[in-house]
Structure formats: C-alpha cells, structure tokens
C-alpha cells in the first residue's frame, strides 16, 4: 500500500462459501471440507494478486526479497485502525480486513512454496483434534504439514506488536528448506 493511499481503503474480506462459513471446520462433512478446499485453492492467485496490488508491489522479486518487502508494508498497514490495534495488555486484535491481509500473506507464502517439487495442497483429515483439521494444508515438507493461513495470521499477531515484517520471509525460508530435504 502506498503511504499516500486514502484512509478507509477497502480490502476484500476472506469469506468462504456462506453455507459452511457459519460452522467450524471440525463440524464440516467431508464434502464441505472439499468445497472449502476448492474455494481456497481456486482463490489463491486472485487473492495474492490483490494483496500485492493493495500493498503497491509486483511479483518481480525472488520469494525472500518479495516477502521481506511485502511484510514490512503489511506491518505498516496492519497497525492502521481499520486493520488492527494493539490492546492495553499488548495483545493485537485484527479486524476482518486485517485478518484477510494476514491470511493472504499466508497464501503468498504458500504460492511460493508450491514452486518446490513435491509440495502440494491436501485436506488434513487426521487427527480430528488438530487445529487445522478439515482444512487445506501444504504437504511435502518433511514429516509434518503446514497450514499457511493459520501460520501467517499467528505471525501477524506477533509481528504487529513487534514491528517485525520479516516473519513471512523467515516462514518461507524455514518451510522451503524442509521441502528440499
């Protein structure tokens, strides 16, 4: 986002299909999890392109440089009142638009990780107690999976407080190294 962009600029919310959005993923049937999977994986390119446009960036750098640059801009945006706020106790709250930006940062990381051979999206079906159960995760990263949306939102909550926009670059680097092993 260019620093002279008008306040109140709208960012598209991260809204899954309405019939499943009202329930938690652990409550979804297998067919609902597949519908969410298709919605998400078909949305990645458009959401990432929208994020980059919103942050005034293009896709012309290697992943680490891009993620570092976009991360710094994202922290600046997420600190704006319409996207997030730091509470008196130091915790960070994201608005729906702030959540969408953080989720889209995760999709950007995922998009770059998918360039590694063997990395692919999959629906996490076991165990049911897993936080990402019934949701799309990346596999092919060693013995564990990676939920890029949950990871990016968690990192955003910490990064807004610390001002560290490099977290998404480090996330990418960590998981990319695992993909190469």
Q: What is the pLDDT of residue 114?
A: 96
The pLDDT-based confidence of 60 (bands split at 50, 70, 90) is confident
| CA neighbor of 110 nearest in space, from 147, 145, 144, 140 | 147
Q: What is the pLDDT of residue 170?
A: 96
Q: Percentage of the chain surpassing pLDDT 90?
A: 78
**Tokens 């953080």 map to which residue?**
102
**Residue 153 is assigned to a structural domain of this protein:** yes
| CA neighbor of 33 nearest in space, from 129, 125, 148 | 125
**Residue 169 is assigned to a structural domain of this protein:** yes
**Residue 46 is assigned to a structural domain of this protein:** yes
Which of the residue ranges 38-42, 79-83, 169-173 would you say has the lowest mean pLDDT?
79-83
Can you give the pTM of this predicted structure?
A: 0.91
CA separation for the pair 67, 71 (Å, rounded) = 6
Q: Is the pLDDT of residue 3 over 70?
A: no
Q: Each residue of 101-148: pLDDT tens digit?
A: 999 999 999 999 999 999 999 999 988 888 999 999 999 998 999 999
Q: What is the number of domains present in the chain?
A: 1
**Residue 73 is assigned to a structural domain of this protein:** yes
Q: What is the pLDDT of residue 5?
A: 44
Query: Residue 174: CB partners within 8 Å, gap ≥ 6?
Result: none
| CA neighbor of 111 nearest in space, from 143, 82, 77, 146 | 146
| Mean pLDDT confidence for 58-83 | 92
Q: What is the pLDDT of residue 58?
A: 86
Q: Which domain holds residue 113?
A: 27-180
Q: Tokens at residue 107, please? A: 């999709």
**Residue 97 is assigned to a structural domain of this protein:** yes
**Residue 16 is assigned to a structural domain of this protein:** no
Q: What is the pLDDT of residue 91?
A: 86
**Residue 33 is assigned to a structural domain of this protein:** yes
Q: What is the pLDDT of residue 4?
A: 41
Query: Residue 48: CB partners within 8 Å, gap ≥ 6?
Result: 104, 107, 108, 111
**Residue 43 is assigned to a structural domain of this protein:** yes
């Amino acid at each position: 986002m260019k620093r002279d962009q008008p306040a109140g600029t709208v960012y598209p919310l991260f809204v899954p299909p309405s019939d499943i959005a009202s329930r938690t993923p652990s409550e979804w049937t297998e067919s609902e999890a597949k519908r969410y999977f298709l919605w998400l994986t078909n949305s990645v390119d458009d959401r990432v392109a929208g994020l980059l446009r919103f942050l005034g960036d293009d896709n012309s750098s290697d992943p680490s440089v891009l993620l570092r640059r976009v991360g710094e801009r994202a922290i600046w945006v997420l600190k704006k009142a319409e996207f997030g706020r730091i509470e008196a106790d130091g915790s960070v709250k994201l608005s729906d638009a702030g959540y969408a930006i953080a989720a889209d940062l995760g999709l950007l990381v995922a998009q770059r990780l998918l360039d590694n051979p063997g990395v692919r999206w999959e629906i996490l079906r076991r165990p049911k107690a897993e936080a990402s159960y019934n949701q799309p995760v990346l596999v092919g990263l060693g013995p564990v999976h990676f939920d890029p949306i949950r990871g990016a939102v968690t990192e955003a909550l910490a990064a807004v407080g610390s001002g560290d926009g490099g977290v998404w670059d480090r996330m990418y680097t960590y998981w990319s190294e695992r993909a190469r092993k």
